[in-house]
Amino acid sequence: MFKTIALIGALAAAGNAERIPLKHRPLTYERYMNFAATLNEMAESNGVPNVPVKDYQNTQYFIDIDIGTPAQTFTVVPDTGSSNLWVYGSGCKSLVCRTHNTFDGSKSTSYTKGTKAFNITYGSGGIKGTQSTDTAAFGGVTSKAMGFGEISQVSGPTFYVSQMDGIVGLAYDQISVNNIPTFMSASDLDAKDRSFSFYLHNNPEESYMMIPGFEADGYDLVQKHNVVEKSYWNVKLDSMTSDKEVKTDGYMAAIDSGTSLIVGPKAIIDPLVNGITVN
């Protein structure tokens, strides 16, 4: 059962921590087909090719984040596998932006429009836009001058089927695009309190995120793994097992809350896949 602590970012007391609901939105066949039909109709009406749509196996969790003054709310993936905040902008011309919330800087009194390019390529696609600045907040934590990506162009099927309006990166500053301070680094939290934790359950209603800190009651420490490289949340990988153990000496593994995929060198992954028995 997947009901234990998935990730704790740093260690800090949880005296003033706040629980942030994590939304799990399964992609049903009916919703998938309705969404695909909508995109196809939009594509045909605009004279562009059909947009590829694919179910990525219900792998994402979401939180709400506020950007701007007054706040505009967006559904984003809290992602330890990246370090930047971005949302779709109101000037976005990609089809995906027509079915998601978009940020309108003209409605925010704390917004500073940027001109510097902001581009990220993920394993499942890419986003392009400009780097802007505004107030961002979630879970009672605020960054008053948060650099973020205001996205105008999207590529990749994942963005079309996902409910997300963007991503809030929770990895380290070292891998941040344009060297923008991460949300945690730019937040109003004291340095000693810049921590977070996820509690992911089979029952989506019981899943939540805490910031800062972690739950002390009802949980026991099972294992502790030191971060050995502060780019992604990289830990030392000793071995992996299916029907037999595959040694992984010298490898690190990134703990990534933005995906449920296991990715690695062919020499390691092939023996694991070959050892899986399907009844």
Output phi, psi for 239, to 5 deg: -165, 165
188 is catalytic: no
d(CA 187, CA 43): 40
In this structure, the answer to whether residues 13 and 101 fall within a common structural domain is yes
Do 18 and 53 fall into the same domain?
A: yes
Do residue 155 and residue 276 come from a single domain?
no
- Of 13-22, 66-75, 227-236, the one with minimum mean pLDDT is 13-22
For the ranges 136-140, 153-157, 205-209, 247-251, which has the lowest average pLDDT? 205-209
Confirm whether 76 is domain-assigned: yes
Residues 274 and 170 in one domain: no
Mean pLDDT of 16-40: 62
220 is an active site residue: no
194 and 264 in a single domain? The answer is no
**Which structural domain range is residue 119 located in?**
5-199
Q: Of the residues 199, 217, 247, which one is the last residue of a structural domain?
A: 199
Q: How confident is the model at residue 47 (pLDDT cuts 50, 70, 90)?
A: very low
Same domain, 129 and 56: yes
Q: Do 195 and 241 belong to one domain?
A: no
Strand order in the sheet with 18-21: 5-9, 196-199, 208-211, 18-21
Q: Is residue 244 part of a domain?
A: yes
Check residues 89 and 260 and name the one with the higher pLDDT. Answer: 89
Q: Residue 206 falls within a domain, yes or no?
A: no
In a domain, 134, yes or no: yes
Cβ neighbors of 98 (< 8 A, separation 6 or more) are 42
The percent of residues in the chain predicted with pLDDT above 90, rounded, is 47
Same domain, 67 and 177: yes
Q: In the prediction, which pLDDT does 35 show?
A: 53
- Selecting among 55, 66, 79, 217, the annotated active-site residue is 79
Residue 207 lies in a domain: no
- Percent of the chain at pLDDT > 70 equals 81
Asked whether residue 45 falls in the same domain as residue 105, the answer is yes
Comparing 50 with 130, which gets the higher pLDDT? Answer: 130
- Output the domain CATH number for residue 175: 2.40.70.10
Place of tokens 């089927």: 161
Cβ neighbours of residue 177 under 8 Å, at least 6 residues apart? Answer: 83, 84, 118, 119, 120, 149
- Tell whether 221 is covered by a domain: no
Q: What is the pLDDT of residues 227-243, one digit of tens each?
A: 999 999 999 999 988 88
**208, part of any domain:** no
Residue 81 sits in the same domain as residue 140:
yes
- Of 264, 275, 266, whose CA–CA distance to 241 is shortest? 275
Do 122 and 259 lie in a common domain?
Answer: no
Residues 36 and 100 in one domain: yes
List, in sequence order, every beta strand (DSSP E) within the chain.
Answer: 5-9, 18-21, 23-24, 61-67, 72-79, 85-88, 117-122, 125-138, 141-155, 166-169, 196-199, 208-211, 227-230, 233-241, 245-254
What's the whole-number mean pLDDT along residues 235-258? 89
Q: What is the pTM of this model?
A: 0.78
**Total count of domains within the chain:** 2
Q: Is residue 116 part of a domain?
A: yes
Q: Under DSSP, is residue 46 helix (H, G, I), strand (E, B) or coil?
A: coil
Query: Which one from 55, 134, 256, 270 is the annotated catalytic residue?
Result: 256
Decide if pLDDT at 53 tops 60: no
